[in-house]
Amino acid sequence: MLKLYHAEPVANSLKSLIPLHEKGLEFESIYVDLHKFEQHQPWFVALNPEGQVPVLDHDGVIITHTTVINEYLDDAFPDSPPLRPADAVGKARMRYWNKFVDEHVMNYVSMWGWHRMVGVIARSVDSGEFEKLLERIPLHEQREKWRTARSGFSEADLANATRKIEVAAAKVEKQLGEFPWIAGDTFSLADANFFSHCGMMLERMFPAIGNQQSTPRLLDWVARMRARPGVAKALAGPDKTNPALRTFTGHVH
């Protein structure tokens, strides 16, 4: 029995929902409400001591961290459509792009998301209550991120994040001039990764970076990603994002 504990279909939660749907695997979807800080509740921290989503439970075996979860799903279910290239070169290319997204993209798009969205949520909690919430956050880095989201990220950090996103968009645009999918001729976990962390929200969040003039191939790839039945199913999951804040995500409603 497979269970996925996840939040809205965006970023890390979407990144692991996509392979589950692309592989056509049956799983129990357990929504964790980040707006209510459920990820820091004792029941959830008992499951994942890092207090973050998503978490995969496969017959009682707990797997965390999306890149690990996604490779695990492909290893554990070899009879459903593979999501990694079959050859060694393709596999290496896919791992290279996953590493690139994990190290050079995810945190920078996330910083802007936290600046524009999570900051609003963090500021809606009064300061005494907020300090109590912080005490429950297990990871030092996440505690600091929540604190900074409330007070505001620095202009220098935000400018650096924008620069990283510009570099990433140009790099993927170039790659898509050589191959139809990020790691080569077939859809792979690298596509799920870049789409969830950057591609799906690029045009809405960063119109000066992602647009028909600068990144036409990337936008065509986003449309091809959305047209995949597995990706469309993953995107249709529960979404409690405040509609007023949705402009900043890649959700199309």
Ligand X SMILES: N[C@@H](CCC(=O)N[C@@H](CS)C(=O)NCC(=O)O)C(=O)O
Which residues would be at the binding site for ligand X (CB under 6 A)?
7, 11-12, 34, 39, 52-53, 65-66, 142
| Nearer residue to ligand X within complex by CB, 136 or 171 | 136
List the strands of the sheet with 55-58, edge to edge. 28-31, 2-6, 55-58, 61-64
Q: Provide the residue type at 34 as one letter.
A: L
- Return the CA Rg of the chain: 18
CB of residue 16 vs ligand X: minimum separation in angstroms?
7
Q: Give the residue carrying structure tokens 């300061």.
A: 127
| Nearer residue to ligand X within complex by CB, 7 or 201 | 7
CA gap 168, 132 in Å, rounded: 37
| Nearer residue to ligand X within complex by CB, 169 or 192 | 192
CB of residue 160 vs ligand X: minimum separation in angstroms?
19
CA gap 219, 204 in Å, rounded: 11
| Nearer residue to ligand X within complex by CB, 12 or 215 | 12
CB of residue 142 vs ligand X: minimum separation in angstroms?
4
Alpha-carbon distance values, 26 to 20, 112, 139, 182, 212 (Å): 8, 34, 31, 27, 37
| Nearer residue to ligand X within complex by CB, 66 or 175 | 66
Evaluate whether 60 touches 54 at the Cβ level (below 8 Å).
no
* 114 Rama sector, left if φ>0, alpha if ψ -120 to 50, beta otherwise: alpha
Structure tokens at 241: 């994002």
| Nearer residue to ligand X within complex by CB, 57 or 176 | 57
| Nearer residue to ligand X within complex by CB, 20 or 34 | 34
CB of residue 174 vs ligand X: minimum separation in angstroms?
25
CB of residue 216 vs ligand X: minimum separation in angstroms?
28
Give the angle 75-98-105 at the CA atoms, nearest 5°. Answer: 150
Biggest CA pair distance of the chain: 55
CB of residue 30 vs ligand X: minimum separation in angstroms?
14
List all residues 6 or more positions away from 216 whose beta carbon is below 8 Å from its beta carbon.
173
CB of residue 92 vs ligand X: minimum separation in angstroms?
20
